[in-house]
Structure 1
């Protein structure tokens, strides 16, 4: 690392700002886990203050002066860590300086309060109670897009925050390609004579046993509980507070196996990524995740590519049967088929691998229209239901299982959803490469050995932080740009076998 005094001063300023932001992350975690319901308004004041102070630090004119100084002297170097830090700090600084401090503070306050309102509205199936908060958030997000600027659609200004360099046009093309090929696969599966025994997943699964099994499995695949914890929340999430402190959450249903278990695996995947970012580089781009698409690739990889694979359950199913007497009469084959059932369903986080991306496509379209003003919040529930019917052939019975099911809009996370689909594509492409260099990987997994895969991911994904942009990282790992082909090949092979479509 360069010992240039100007560069070091720049890094120190950025680290200090991110250290303060990590305090805000801890407050955010507490708000969604243990905060008393009446504390939401005050928490909004706390988070708003931290957001304003962080913004002041991130837009400090001295940061701009130092950037200008080191860019002229250090940037010509090729592929050095300093170059990546300077590139990403410049990107963040330019974006931050376009946003008024008032807007940043107001967004933090409103979204903190809106999350509490959303949680209650969802519980009570009361969309009208949440609508005013969504209206406020949309006003603020539209102001943000105008401040940031965009070429084609205001959505691009928000998407770029989560997936640098990606545009709504690219996302449209991805969904068009996926829908074109997923639709015939789904129809073939729906017409198959083979059907899973899904009732076996809706038996009694005591919550304490679920907690034990989820924690044990997360630890086995590589989540370090000495540097993290697992708690309960309304909508599962992962918060990487800083080195040695990563919080993951899940939710429990005593009569449904999948809800908590695969949610835990998903968040553990996020957590493993956070725990293996370079601790010495905390607070700098090199110590931060590459993008949310890459982050989601890690969660979707462990949840689906590994967690819904047969080798995984060859190891874990005997343990599951010991903990859950309701599975005592269920053969492995039946259980494996049941957890991989393909069937249009109402809830995104419980969706199967074939239909999941249709859930994301629906949300992407709605977000685009809401942001631009082509769809009013008053019409959102009805429009959601109409689109859902066209995509899945089923009608949500209420807002709780419809437009209120996700926390993202209450968080101001408009533009986030497409990263889940990008994550699915990255995960499939990464696993193709992993199996090339580790031909005995499936055997290792069936024996409960996950160290080789975890270390491969640490080496090729986690350890780089933001040294590379998402597209460059993908090319370095797989030798090609992101493509939907490996994902579709994976789905066709897996589900053709399960549903006997061969």
Structure 2
């Protein structure tokens, strides 16, 4: 045995334990009885304590030092890069803090769900204050004198900074807001009408998941308050939610989560239980969910096929033909909820959250003032008032579970998806012909081969650059959005 093989064998067990911890989180969102929240918090704390101890084991430093200069494959070198990075980061976070974060965020998720259902921000506030304080403490430890928000962002998107995101969002905001004003000045396309059986929605969502290549022999579809994807390898699970009045909520959240899960299912099986065996960053992960949902799932060709599936499932849905259905899928309207937003306004929702969470992490915004700050910012950005907390600062699960630094990766994923879409359509000139038949295979195969199979082999931006032949920029996404909505709304 060599130091390298000893290290990778030790890491394999750590990765397996982390997967078990992830399954606990999946169960909490889907199957766990509501009364078990406090107990689950202790369980989370216990397993995170074990993981923290393994990730700070002093033998890791010895194995890393002994492996320096050793002959190794490209994959092994990448594994060591990830292990060294995680070891350095974890060393900075006290074990007691890691366990307390796991315990508090586990309990906070249930408190958030109850407060959201009751539209009562004050009921959630004590938990939010605890979560923010703990994340601030963690960020200060990780930053080691540097920017605290950047340290938390690095948990989800390595090599990215808030300053670079600010510059990117500054480029995007003027073009998006100008187009939004033009679009909202036009008549709003007709939406679907009627009620839609929720069991039938799940059945159609299951069909759509298979259509996009989700392997149900290695995954499952369940319901939760907030749709999410969990796990990887041979156990990649997704959830959705249903509304009798809005089937798109179920169907497109399913396609979105399928993008995440197919990324995990598409990673080279040789990387299982190694640091390369999961998506390399949340930005790259979001590129897959967003391109599945939007550039493929909301395209005119695919929605023409989907219109037939909808009418076969539900009968009269309130729109008469495929063109009207395409307009209904992509209509832009005054709304509040990020997960139900159209492509044009979605990134504006993210920019709002990015600025507010940075302010909370820095201490410039107290959690007690979040609801007012959210409502004021929303009014300034979107032009109308938030009527209740479930449509405002309580709509997302992220802050309850401590995911500070996560939100901007959604927009970064959109930017990556814009780059990938342009490259993919160059590589597959007849893609629309396939999509019009409900055949996503050419697209999903291209994405698997050019993005998904690599797992964590490359750095995040490097994955996109290798797939597209150029460094990622926001221009392809903005060009795509402007072309799509200019055509859809007949703008000059």
TM-score, length basis structure 1: 0.96
- What is the match of residue 253 of structure 2? 263
CA change 1:325–1:378 in 2 (3 A) is same
Residue 44 of structure 2 is matched in structure 1 by: 47
Aligned to 2:206: 215
| Equivalent position SS for 2:216 | coil
* Residues 259 and 289, structure 2, Cα contact 8 Å, conserved in 1: yes
Among candidates 358, 365, 368, match of residue 368 of structure 1: 358
For residues 448 and 390 of structure 2, what CA distance do their matches in structure 1 show?
38
For residues 96-154 of structure 1, give each alpha carbon's deviation from its aligned partner in whole angstroms, at most 9, with x where no partner exists. 11111101100000000000000001001111111011111111111111111166531
Aligned: 1:195 with 2:192: no
Q: 1:306 aligns with which of 270, 280, 296?
A: 296
Q: Secondary structure at the match of 1:73?
A: coil
Residue 84 of structure 1 pairs with residue 78 of structure 2: yes
Q: Contact between 1:6 and 1:70, CA under 8 Å: does it hold in 2? A: yes
Shift, 1:415, TM fit: 0.4
User: What SS is found at the alignment partner of 2:87?
Assistant: helix
Q: 2: distance between equivalents of 1:215 and 1:330?
A: 24
Change (3 A) 1:152 1:57: closer
Report the Cα offset of residue 243 of structure 1. Answer: 2.6
Alignment partner of 1:183 is 2:177: yes
Match of 1:409 in 2: 399
2:152 to 137, 147, 158: 158
Structure 2 Cα separation of the partners of residues 13 and 220 of structure 1:
38
Residue 218 of structure 2 is matched in structure 1 by 227
Contact 2:105 2:400 in 1 (8 A): yes
CA contact (8 A) 2:304 2:325 kept: no
Select the residue among 9, 21, 31 that pairs with 1:34.
31
Out of 364, 389, 396, the position equivalent to 1:399 is 389
Residue aligning to 1:169? 163
For 1:60, the equivalent position in structure 2 comes to 57
Give 1:284 shift: 1.3
Contact (CA 8 Å) 1:114, 1:410: kept in 2 or not?
A: yes
Distance of 1:493 and 1:329 partners within structure 2: 24
Q: Does 1:454 align with 2:444?
A: yes
Note if contact 1:203-1:256 (Cα within 8 Å) is conserved in structure 2: no
Map 1:463-502 to 2 at 5 A.
Answer: 463-502=453-492
Q: Contact 1:150–1:156 at 8 Å: present in 2 too?
A: no
> Counterpart in 1 of 2:269?
279
Cα distance in 2 between the residues matched to 1:358 and 1:152: 28
Structure 1 residue 344: Cα displacement: 3.3
* 1:101 aligned to which of 77, 95, 106: 95
Match of 2:313 among 316, 323, 326: 323
- Which digits, 9 at most, give the CA deviation of each residue in 1:372-394, with x for residues without a partner? 11111111111100000001001
TM (normalized to structure 2)?
0.98
Give, in angstroms, the shift of residue 7 of structure 1: 1.2
Would you say the 8 A contact 2:156–2:281 is kept in 1? yes
Q: Which residue does 2:230 correspond to in 1?
A: 239
CA deviation vs aligned residue, 1:49-98 (integer Å, no higher than 9, x gap): 11000111111111111111112324xx7x81111111111111111111
Cα deviation, 1:429-469, whole Å, max 9, x if unaligned, reads 00111111111111111122222211111111111111110
RMSD: 1.3
1:115 to 109, 112, 116: 109
| Distance in 1, Cα, partners of 2:319 & 2:434 | 27
SS at structure 1 position matched to 2:342: coil
SS at match of 1:137: helix
* Deviates most, 430-439 or 4-13: 4-13
Instruction: Tell whether 2:67 aligns with 1:70.
Output: yes
State the alpha-carbon separation in 1 of the partners of residues 147 and 92 from structure 2: 18
Report the 3-state secondary structure (helix = DSSP H, G, I; strand = E; otherwise coil) of the residue aligned with 1:22: helix
Q: Contact between 2:268 and 2:455, CA under 8 Å: does it hold in 1?
A: yes
User: How many aligned residue pairs are there?
Assistant: 492
Q: Is the 8 A contact 2:451 2:464 kept in 1?
A: no
Residue range with higher mean Cα deviation, 243-252 or 447-456: 447-456
Cα distance in 1 for residues equivalent to 2:326 and 2:452: 30
The secondary structure found in structure 1 opposite 2:308 is helix
> Separation in 1 of the partners of 2:334 and 2:478?
18
Match of 2:22 among 10, 21, 25: 25
CA distance in 1, matches of 2:377, 2:162: 19
Counterparts in 2 of 1:310 and 1:329: CA distance versus 1, 3 Å: closer
Which residue matches 1:354?
Answer: 344
Instruction: Answer yes or no: is the 8 Å Cα contact 2:41–2:103 preserved in 1.
Output: yes
Structure 2 counterpart SS, 1:412: coil
For the 8 Å contact 1:207–1:254, the answer to whether it is kept is: yes
Give structure 1 regions of 4+ aligned residues with deviation exceeding 4 angstroms: none
Kept in 2: contact 1:44–1:113 (CA 8 A): yes
Taking a change above 3 Å as real, the CA distance of residues 329 and 450 of structure 1, as seen in their structure-2 partners, is closer
SS at match of 1:354: helix
Question: CA offset at residue 328 of structure 1?
Answer: 6.7
> Any gaps of 5 or more consecutive residues in structure 2?
none
Identify which of 204, 208, 215 aligns with 2:195.
204
The CA distance in 1 between the partners of 2:175 and 2:68, in whole Å, is 45
Shift of 1:306: 0.7
- Residue 329 of structure 1: CA displacement? 5.5
